[in-house]
Amino acid sequence: MNKEKDMHQTKDEVTINGISYSIDKLEKDCWIQLVNGSIKSRSPFHTPCVATLTNGALSMRTVVLRKAFPLLKELRFHTDIRSNKWKELQNNDSISALFYDASTRVQIRVNGKAILHFNDTITSEAWQKTTLSSRRCYLTQASPSSFSAIPTSGLSEEIEQEKFTLADSEAGAKYFGIVSIQVESMEWLWLNHAGHRRAFFDYVHDSYKWMIP
């Protein structure tokens, strides 16, 4: 078989593991990977790095991807509304998330605007599904990022050891927030020994383009 043909089935498609992708099919596949990442805790796409910007200063952190909505072009993660990232996003709604799967050598970068959900139906539904163990994140006395004289989780011993009831955990609901990323653009990069491939999906201008990696 012609190796060149195998690599580039047609000029405007990319072939990965024997499957050809048009740019539209590739875009859909990226979102399938993101949905998988939101569902499967072992997926490398489960824990993206999310960047925010306030007063010219960047900050990044790992979060758990909780939801991905391919048609709405929306991603969601949970956080404490007392956290720095929440305050940063209140000041500046620009947000970026970065995913990398070392097994497939695929990087996905998204850029967009954050919508902050608090005390609404989206947060109350998600809070109901939040396990006792995960609710501990919202039960610290002092705010996340506040300094402490000793190394501590910020939780009481009972809460730390999960000796508390679901009713007790309701105290955390007032700090439970959801960041919704309204994805404005997405970039896909595939590292390949025979030449990398890159694509850009612009949802604002509804334009998908191949790029030089």
Ligand X SMILES: Cc1cc2nc3c(=O)[nH]c(=O)nc-3n(C[C@H](O)[C@H](O)[C@H](O)COP(=O)(O)O)c2cc1C
The residue count for binding ligand X (CB under 6 A) is 14
Alpha-carbon distance 50 to 174, whole Å? 23
The single residue among 14, 63, 75, 106 that binds ligand X, judged by CB under 6 A, is 63
Residue among 78, 2, 8, 34 nearest 188 (CA): 34
- Residue 61 is a binding residue for ligand X (CB under 6 A): yes
**Looking at 15-23, 56-64, 182-190, 192-200, which segment touches ligand X (CB under 6 A)?**
56-64
- Residue 144 is a binding residue for ligand X (CB under 6 A): yes
Contact 116, 90 (CB under 8 A): yes
Contact 116, 179 (CB under 8 A): yes
Residue among 142, 151, 156 nearest 80 (CA): 142
- Residue 59 is a binding residue for ligand X (CB under 6 A): yes
What 3-state class would DSSP assign to 154? coil
The single residue among 23, 64, 115, 189 that binds ligand X, judged by CB under 6 A, is 64
* 211: number of Cβ within 10 Å: 11
Q: Which is nearer to ligand X, 2 or 55 (CB)?
A: 55
- Residue 40 is a binding residue for ligand X (CB under 6 A): no
- Residue 97 is a binding residue for ligand X (CB under 6 A): no
- Residue 62 is a binding residue for ligand X (CB under 6 A): yes
User: Closest distance between ligand X and the C-beta of residue 166, in Å?
Assistant: 21
